[in-house]
Structure 1
């Protein structure tokens, strides 16, 4: 059972600073709220709970969250709280330019300041699309009032010509098939209609489903939250129960800092390996750990995840989609198997008020094809491989479960693209000096270089290579890749090219050695030559000079520590700001 001890109740709530008296200021705050038709007795000292909503029609994954917010409200009212919904910046993955990652920190700032400045005793975080989950958890962690997440859930399986279509994964696959001549453009357009056929986020184990799983593994969402499809009635039930639960969390003063401990992060890292989760989880969990003061590093990702078998057979690593994962029993089954294998800190506290093991010990696996036993794992060594060497002194990452085994140890000639525009201009050129043995290198796509670190690391292969039937090549960059993507792709190379990391001075024709088993990424040139190239390097001049882009460029940290802003690391607490009225 949990070691958590509830705080004494009743105690003074944050909201009483606004509503709990008869002064002019208290009446000022209450009277304006009453223009919404709220009865006077709703301000009698009951918990005021925010519903932090990332709903937006510009964020398709989250476009159904208004309905879930109403379900959360039902639960809060039932439990004796006052629910108040408010919007925050919504980081939609599919439309935001230059990349949604550039705005994760902005959304986290929005959440943090909204929570601290408003009369809230607790908050329900409505999340879904990739960056909304880490952004809201980061903002809530920095304020540290009782908080709980509920995800919007994945969309239904895509169906096209009798086959399952995974959102994102099918897009990358079919795009390459068009370039190789295996699929016509008309077929591609027809398949488009089948990819996203219901509300919800990606139906593969992309970043959205990965981060929903991370929230559950961290203990910040109710058990079973991660996999329920968006349109399943049980998703609404989850929202309703979350509304009930947050009121008790306020009464118990159960905060993010009580839940997101070192043990919780280690559970999440191992869970990511077991589900074949997105490499994006690395950056987000590093940033989140920084907000709660947990000393988490890239080396922890490699150490903890290296021997974890990938047992969830989902695209892009495997065959199935999120619907099948839910029907098989979802994340509780995975957590139970980790626990039975000695890979779970069973006493880690969750927002339920009990330990994670109490939540999952009786979980049943209804489909061992989808959630496999370790003896039939997709790969015996899943997780995220952290590579180091003279090309990545601070580290780079690779997802073994999505890579080609034959390429995990490779030596090849570098074909260099200075930035994404250079890549787009040259990749289809039949005269490009490249074949399948080469190593594709992309520069200036890291946190500062893009700016924002876009998901362009899984560069499409040259058409002339694709026509040979080749499906994968070694690719290296300081960028990210979509959680729905796949391939032998080295990402997050740090330090990035834009700050003068070794990646910046790689030249066409250099030989590069990749050895995943040895965790080595090496540029095969003499040390003296590497030092000379770095000494001659000069930064590019196309840097932002104003607005949020300048703030981002000037303060974003490297991918190896989570790409948070330097001034946002840590928790600033929930002290009530001064009243100006």
Structure 2
């Protein structure tokens, strides 16, 4: 650290002067020395927990980040925030807390760093909501910050992962495999630490954040265990000191152009629909204007080139083995698909970061050429129509077809739909309608991974569609439409659909329509009664009162 420049913009409030002696005394008790009081403090936000393999190793990564900060002349201070496990909670009442956890993580990082006066931040996340939660927290504080991804899990035996287990349940219901075979898959699918192994939400968001410029190059494409991830964490701790010297903050990096880069990389990778929700929320945190229409416009000129699960063949570890997303981004930059002049946490531009990146090895088919894409335009399709006037988000790679017309089979909630799929009530030609699962109505906007996996396991993936005001796991695939707005709890058209109504979903015209006249929908609306929420206290009740529409990112601080 330069003797001429004091980098302590916030921590000095608690360590300078006689009147700050109580603060020094508190810090001395946790290991500070006299020399440490002269250094900038770097908060290391760890999402470590033993509730999920995605985060079980992050305590070690946080320690590496602390070492890096200390080696660079700062004083690292580790603190914890929460995580939950979607994989464990999916299909249960507990899943209502999942999206809520994004807000709790953001709030807690803001609260701790703001209160303690950290000069900079490193945040380390592993599971789906950790990443946008960390970014939102850092963005609100706007102090020099870097995100570190915990890394991807390695494949289970037989090239299995968590989605293999979910789909095995449906295969069992169909009679294709027995309970012993389900148990055999369940026992081997998750071999150790790391986030779910396909281009599901965790790997999608890690890739988006790297494309956004808020993590070090390569951070999104590393195995959870190994020297690369430990080194990534150490270097992140070091680099925050450089960001302090440059006075380079999240709002300098998370610009409109950077979000456009993130969206286009997510599309190229066939990423999760949750990226739409989270990128809207992250943009809101830095006052960048971003809407569903931006996904539409960018999607028209952005091909899908990754053959990755859930709709493709390969896992994230196989993308890691050929070089991760950096060669893809270099190809995209050369093709004019990315803005190369945006700043990143390296202190350099994206173009400078990519300058010496080698291309993928010959013969690989994980990432396809732009002239031979999986799909010539985006798989993230924003739909509007009389069923969703303010927008819905579909994940359609083209493998499911581009148009579906069928008969509504309506369920109030996920549990009823799952039972209907598994017991044979759902038939080919049905459009499964799952409502009252939106941000307010759930509350919490649960993922419909159990129903979509059951559909695939039952062999109905090409024969039925599923629509919901809830959302989907990054592992969901099939002809599925989520984020339908306005949601049922707000009296949106999805609340008025009846069994037997004809529904048309057209990815090419970007329409979602129910074959019911405006007059009939208006008449049904007069008979509609909003169901009473059973949550009167606690975090779910508070969330339901404050959360915005999914079309606005389901944020909880949109007051003006």
Specify the TM-score bucket, using the shorter chain as the normaliser: over 0.9
Alignment partner for residue 503 of structure 2, among 504, 509, 512? 512
CA distance in 1, matches of 2:309, 2:471: 18
CA distance in 2, matches of 1:467, 1:283: 29
How far off its partner does 1:534 sit? Answer: 1.8
CA distance in 2, matches of 1:61, 1:461: 21
CA distance in 2, matches of 1:233, 1:462: 38
CA contact (8 A) 1:56 1:63 kept: yes
Cα deviations across residues 213-243 of structure 1 (Å, max 9, x unaligned)? 1110110000000010011211111111111
1:198 aligns with 2:195: no
Structure 1 residues 11 and 136 mapped into 2: Cα distance closer, same or farther (>3 Å)? closer
Structure 1 residues 121 and 325 mapped into 2: Cα distance closer, same or farther (>3 Å)? same
SS at match of 2:45: strand
Alignment partner for residue 435 of structure 1, among 419, 424, 427? 427
Alignment partner for residue 25 of structure 2, among 5, 25, 31? 31
Runs of 5+ consecutive residues of structure 2 not aligned to the other structure:
none
Match of 1:387 in 2: 383
Alignment partner for residue 113 of structure 2, among 115, 140, 145? 115
Alignment partner for residue 309 of structure 1, among 288, 293, 303? 303
How far off its partner does 1:472 sit? Answer: 4.8
How far off its partner does 1:426 sit? Answer: 3.5
How far off its partner does 1:457 sit? Answer: 6.2
Alignment partner for residue 95 of structure 2, among 68, 93, 98? 98
1:498 aligns with 2:510: no
Structure 1 residues 480 and 154 mapped into 2: Cα distance closer, same or farther (>3 Å)? same
Runs of 5+ consecutive residues of structure 1 not aligned to the other structure:
1-5, 570-581
Query: After the TM superposition, which of the residue ranges 201-210 and 372-381 deviates more from structure 2?
Result: 372-381
Structure 1 residues 415 and 142 mapped into 2: Cα distance closer, same or farther (>3 Å)? same
CA contact (8 A) 2:421 2:451 kept: no
CA contact (8 A) 1:291 1:568 kept: no
Match of 2:234 in 1: 240
SS at match of 1:59: coil
1:366 aligns with 2:358: no
Alignment partner for residue 444 of structure 2, among 438, 442, 452? 452
CA distance in 1, matches of 2:458, 2:541: 42
CA contact (8 A) 1:427 1:461 kept: no
How far off its partner does 1:140 sit? Answer: 1.2
CA distance in 1, matches of 2:423, 2:252: 55
Cα deviations across residues 382-409 of structure 1 (Å, max 9, x unaligned)? 34100000000010111122x5443x21
CA distance in 2, matches of 1:504, 1:239: 47
Query: TM-score normalized by structure 1?
Result: 0.91
Structure 2 counterparts to residues 413-492 of structure 1, below 5 A: 413-430=407-424, 432=425, 434-456=426-448, 459-460=451-452, 472-492=463-483
CA distance in 2, matches of 1:111, 1:467: 42
Match of 1:76 in 2: 69
Query: TM-score normalized by structure 2?
Result: 0.94
SS at match of 1:375: coil
Alignment partner for residue 54 of structure 2, among 61, 82, 95? 61
CA distance in 1, matches of 2:143, 2:459: 57
CA contact (8 A) 2:41 2:74 kept: yes
How far off its partner does 1:462 sit? Answer: 7.6
CA contact (8 A) 1:53 1:125 kept: yes
Query: After the TM superposition, which of the residue ranges 435-444 and 342-351 deviates more from structure 2?
Result: 435-444
Structure 1 residues 354 and 461 mapped into 2: Cα distance closer, same or farther (>3 Å)? closer
Structure 2 counterparts to residues 530-549 of structure 1, below 5 A: 530-549=521-540
Structure 1 residues 284 and 360 mapped into 2: Cα distance closer, same or farther (>3 Å)? same
How far off its partner does 1:458 sit? Answer: 6.5
SS at match of 2:59: helix
SS at match of 1:74: helix
How far off its partner does 1:437 sit? Answer: 1.4
CA distance in 2, matches of 1:467, 1:59: 28
CA distance in 2, matches of 1:276, 1:138: 23
Cα deviations across residues 302-328 of structure 1 (Å, max 9, x unaligned)? 111233111122111211111110111
Report how many residues are paired: 551
Match of 1:42 in 2: 36
Cα deviations across residues 451-470 of structure 1 (Å, max 9, x unaligned)? 1001116724888x976776
Structure 1 residues 386 and 67 mapped into 2: Cα distance closer, same or farther (>3 Å)? same
CA distance in 1, matches of 2:80, 2:8: 26
SS at match of 2:415: helix
How far off its partner does 1:504 sit? Answer: 0.2
Structure 1 residues 241 and 428 mapped into 2: Cα distance closer, same or farther (>3 Å)? closer
CA distance in 2, matches of 1:294, 1:303: 17
Structure 2 counterparts to residues 125-524 of structure 1, below 5 A: 125-160=123-158, 164-165=159-160, 167-363=161-357, 364-366=359-361, 368-401=364-397, 404-406=399-401, 408-430=402-424, 432=425, 434-456=426-448, 459-460=451-452, 472-524=463-515
CA contact (8 A) 2:151 2:220 kept: yes
Structure 1 residues 441 and 284 mapped into 2: Cα distance closer, same or farther (>3 Å)? same
SS at match of 1:43: helix
CA contact (8 A) 2:163 2:475 kept: yes
How far off its partner does 1:39 sit? Answer: 2.1
Cα deviations across residues 3-59 of structure 1 (Å, max 9, x unaligned)? xxx9x93355211111122x13x1111122112333211112x21100011101113
Structure 1 residues 355 and 55 mapped into 2: Cα distance closer, same or farther (>3 Å)? same
CA distance in 2, matches of 1:425, 1:178: 14
Match of 2:516 in 1: 525
Cα deviations across residues 518-571 of structure 1 (Å, max 9, x unaligned)? 0000011111111111232110013421121211011111100000113578xx
CA distance in 2, matches of 1:462, 1:118: 47
How far off its partner does 1:417 sit? Answer: 0.9
CA distance in 1, matches of 2:194, 2:148: 13
